[in-house]
Amino acid sequence: MYTDKELVIRPVAETDLVRLWELIYKDEQPEWKKWDAPYFPHKAMSYEAFLPIGSKWVGVDNFWAIEVDGVIRGIVSYYWEHQPSQWLEVGIVFHESGSWGKGLGTRVLTLWIDHLFNTLPLVRVGFTTWSGNERMIRVGEKLGMQMEARIRKVRYYEGHYYDSIRMGILREEWEEKNNLH
């Protein structure tokens, strides 16, 4: 568990599953999905159908809950793009619009990236987003990430093509930016 004032990131507990289901799978067309890879389909599901999925999130290293003032507001995660070369990508979703635009994502990812660099033998941490999610691109810039790739017009959403964006930061850049030598 890591904290920054009212913000906590921690492994998912069994008691979090109802809240996570409400945030992620209760609604057929949740607002957050307009920003988080909306070109991929999202399906609502019953709590009973969600349980086998959610139970796999409990206590794992790569999928944590984000709490703000003691209430779960989203998730932060990582996945291996290619584990043999330690190529890891992170993800973050705040599922309610009241959490957007307040700098929370930058603070969460600062905690998460610190955790990842401190616990895994990583050379780089990055994420992939799309050009329609300008807030996420700004988070990457505030974290000191570089724009590493812009794959043009490969994400189609609501009649428009958008670019796929890859951003990342190397361990030495992270340490330099955060005075961690």
Provide the CATH number for the domain around residue 96.
3.40.630.30
Nearest to 76 by CA among 61, 54, 55: 61
> Could you read off the pLDDT of 68-120 as tens digits, one per residue?
999 999 999 999 999 999 999 999 999 998 888 899 999 999 999 999 999 99
The string of pLDDT tens digits covering residues 108-155 is 999 999 999 999 999 999 999 999 999 999 999 999 999 999 999 999
* Distance between CA atoms of residues 75 and 63, nearest Å: 7
Count of domains forming the chain: 1
- Domain extent for 16: 2-177
Instruction: Compute the half-sphere exposure of residue 12: CA atoms within 13 Å on the CB side of its CA.
Output: 24
- pTM, two decimal places: 0.92
